[in-house]
Amino acid sequence: MKIKPSNTPGNVVVEVATKDTDLLAKGSPGQFRLKQVLVPIDFSDCSKKALQYALAFAKQFNASLVLLYVVEANYAGTEYGGLDYVLLEKESRETGQKLLAELAQTIVGDHVPVETLVRTGRPVMEITDVAQEKNVDLIVISTHGHTGLKHLLLGSVSENVVRHAPCPVLTVREREHEFLAG
């Protein structure tokens, strides 16, 4: 599959090869089917950029968006005692839901249907679980491009999503050649 810029601003052209027949809609050969796009959001500029790409796909294919924020459950004590993790998690979920709603309103608006979800857990597991539960057709995820020691220590959520996702994944790099017209 190849994705190229379109002559129409905000649109892309998707070329599907015969080997990609599983992506074709049943009963309508040659037509690309895209009904629901999942966009994991961590509120970084890079994840907002991924949302812009997902929105262009959703507009072009009349698809809906699912915006997902994952609250990481980190339960470690400090030298000063324990933290109120229940309260911390509750506040993180509420803040995430509020920020997702703002993104849905300001970036997506009324262009396409949008759903917002907040989950708690390990990001890779939650992203792939939501993709499967919602039967999404595409995941558009940002990657910050960490290499070396940072990559070793932090791992790569997007890399692991690509490996475990039940659908195609488009990764959007922080710094790349743009094909999406602003």
Give me the domains of the chain, ranges plus CATH numbers: 34-173 (3.40.50.620)
Q: Is the dihedral of CA 36, 122, 69, 169 positive or negative?
A: negative
Q: CB neighbours (10 Å) of residue 21?
A: 9
Beta carbons of 23 and 33 less than 8 angstroms apart = yes
Which pLDDT does position 20 carry in this prediction?
61
Sheet holding 138-143, edge to edge: 114-120, 64-71, 36-40, 138-143, 169-173
pLDDT, mean of each 10-residue run, the chain (182 residues): 69 68 52 89 91 93 96 66 72 93 94 96 94 96 64 67 92 72 56
pTM here is 0.75
